[in-house]
Structure 1
Amino acid sequence: MEEDHGEPPSKLPPVRSTERRRFVAAGFLRVGNGFAAGVKVTDISLTGARVQGLSPCFETGTTVQISFQGIGPLLARVRWQDTSSIGIEFERPLHVSVFDWLSSSY
C-alpha cells in the first residue's frame, strides 16, 4: 500500500529527453504533397525544433523536410501544433557538434 504524503500529483509537463536551446533562423519547410513555405526555426534540440510561421494545417505524424542555416533538407515528423507553430522531431538526431554550432550561432 502506497503512503499518501498529502502532496498533489505533479502538473508539470514531462521532462524532455534532450536539451532544448533558444535558437532563431530562417528556414524552408516542404511537405510531400507539394506544400512549401518559408518558416522560422526556433527552440532547437538534438531531436527536433519548433517551427513558426505556419497556420495549423498539419496532422500529427505528417512527414516534412526542413532546411535552415545551410543544413538539410532533414526529414522530420510533426509531433504537435498550436495556432502559430508546429513541433517537429528529426528522423535522425543532429550530431552533437552540429547542435553546438547551431546553438552558438544564435
Structure 2
Amino acid sequence: MIRAGHGPSVRLFEAAACATPIISDCWDGLGALLEPNREIILAHSTGDVLHALQQLDENIRQAMGARARQRILEQHTAAHRAETLERELKGAMRRTGRGPSTALPFH
C-alpha cells in the first residue's frame, strides 16, 4: 500500500471496527477506505478538530462511527486482504503462463 501512495495505520481499521468516530488528517488514498464526512471526519486544522469535538452533535459522530464499522467489516477485513492476495497471485500466474498445475508448492 505504501508503494501505491498510502499506508494506513492498523489503528485506523481497529478504531473503525469498534465504531469509534474518527478524526483524521487528510492523505492520499483515505477516501478509498472511508468516505469523508460520512464515515470519517477530516481535519485540515486545529479548528476543524475542535469543531468536531465541541460542535458536532454526538448522534452524528456515533452514526459516522457505525457507518465506518460497517464499511470496514464489509470491505477491509483480513479475509478481504487474503482474497485480494489470492486473486492477484492467480492473475500473475496467468500472465506469466504458469497455471495452478505448474505452481510451485509453498513450504
Per the normalisation by structure 1, the TM-score is 0.26
Larger radius of gyration: 2
Per the normalisation by structure 2, the TM-score is 0.26
